[in-house]
Amino acid sequence: MNDSILGARDDLGALEICGRCSNSGYTSFVERLARRIASFPAHTIAHVKAAVDVGVFGSLAEGLLVEAHQSDLSVASEVTQARVAEALKVGAETFEGELELEFLSRLSPDPSS
């Protein structure tokens, strides 16, 4: 679930470890992350938060079970299914789409936000 929120292109941890991230890098990262989180339907954010809370304070096994369950609940939503169908139409799950993630810019904003 964290990949759906954080994405593959914003690896602040790697930048920080390498010492290559300036304050402007942090700001840029946080702004992109905030925009990405805001683009998700509210129910998806709630499911991710529930999974993260258990993952932080529970055992690894419990965290993984809760993450799988919360992910299933999110995907079962009609809103999520419609967004996945749209993402597939604009290039998600293609070789090129997965490399560049450019298809994300072609998705409609969440109408429930």
* Predicted TM-score (pTM) of this structure: 0.57
Question: What Rg, from alpha-carbon coordinates, does the chain have?
Answer: 15
In a domain, 113, yes or no: no
Q: Give residue 92's domain range.
A: 2-106
Structural domains counted in the chain = 1
Q: Is 112 inside a domain boundary?
A: no
Note down pLDDT in tens along the chain; length 113 residues: 545 555 545 455 555 555 555 566 677 778 888 888 888 888 888 988 888 888 888 888 998 999 999 989 988 999 889 988 988 888 888 888 777 777 777 777 765 55
Residue 59 placed within a domain: yes
Question: Does residue 111 lie within any of the structural domains?
Answer: no
CB-based burial, 85-94: b 16+ in 10 Å, e otherwise: eebeeebbee
Q: Is the separation of the CB atoms in 3 and 40 below 8 Å?
A: no
Query: Does 11 reside within a domain?
Result: yes
